[in-house]
Amino acid sequence: MRMAMLGLGRMGGNMTRRLLRGGIEVVGYNRSPQIVEKLAREEGMIPAASIEEAVAKLEPPRVVWLMLPAGAVTQEHIDRLADLLSPGDLVVDGGNANYQDSLRRGAQLRARDLLFVDAGTSGGIWGLENGYCLMVGGEARAVALLEPALRVLAPAPDRGWAHVGPVGAGHFTKMIHNGIEYGMMQALAEGLALLRGKEEFGIDLAQVTELWRHGSVVRSWLLDLTAEALARDQRLEDVAPVVADSGEGRWTAMEAIAQGVPAPVISLALQMRFASQDGEGYPFKLLAMMRNAFGGHQVVRKEGGDDR
| pLDDT recorded at residue 308 | 37
* Per-residue pLDDT tens digits for 160-173: 999 999 999 999 99
**Do residues 162 and 108 lie in contact, with contact meaning Cβ atoms separated by under 8 Å?**
no
Q: What is the DSSP letter of 300?
A: P
| Residue 38 appears among annotated catalytic residues | no
User: Which residues lie below 8 Å from residue 33, measured CB to CB, with a gap of 6+?
Assistant: 49
* Per-residue pLDDT tens digits for 150-200: 999 999 999 999 999 999 999 999 999 999 999 999 999 999 999 999 999
**Which of 181, 248, 255, 285 does the annotation list as catalytic?**
181
Assign domain 175-295 to its CATH superfamily.
Answer: N-(1-d-carboxylethyl)-l-norvaline Dehydrogenase; domain 2 (1.10.1040.10)
Cα angle for residues 190, 223, 308 (degrees, 5° grid): 85
- Residues of the chain short of pLDDT 70, as ranges, are 278-281, 302-308
Residue 111: C-alpha distances to residues 2, 82, 86, 169 (Å): 25, 10, 12, 19
Q: Where are the domains of the chain?
A: 2-166, 175-295
**Which of 42, 59, 174, 198 does the annotation list as catalytic?**
174
User: Which residues lie below 8 Å from residue 151, measured CB to CB, with a gap of 6+?
Assistant: 157, 158, 161
- The pTM score is 0.88
| pLDDT recorded at residue 258 | 96
What DSSP string describes 180-197? HHHHHHHHHHHHHHHHHH
| pLDDT recorded at residue 242 | 81
> Could you write out the three-class secondary structure of 31-79?
CCHHHHHHHHHHHCCEECCCHHHHHHCCCCCCEEEECCCCCHHHHHHHH
Distance between CA atoms of 81 and 64, rounded to whole angstroms? Answer: 9
CATH class as words, domain 2-166: alpha beta
H helix intervals, 198-259: 205-212, 221-232, 248-259
**Do residues 38 and 16 lie in contact, with contact meaning Cβ atoms separated by under 8 Å?**
no
| Residue 285 appears among annotated catalytic residues | no
| pLDDT recorded at residue 281 | 64
| pLDDT recorded at residue 296 | 80
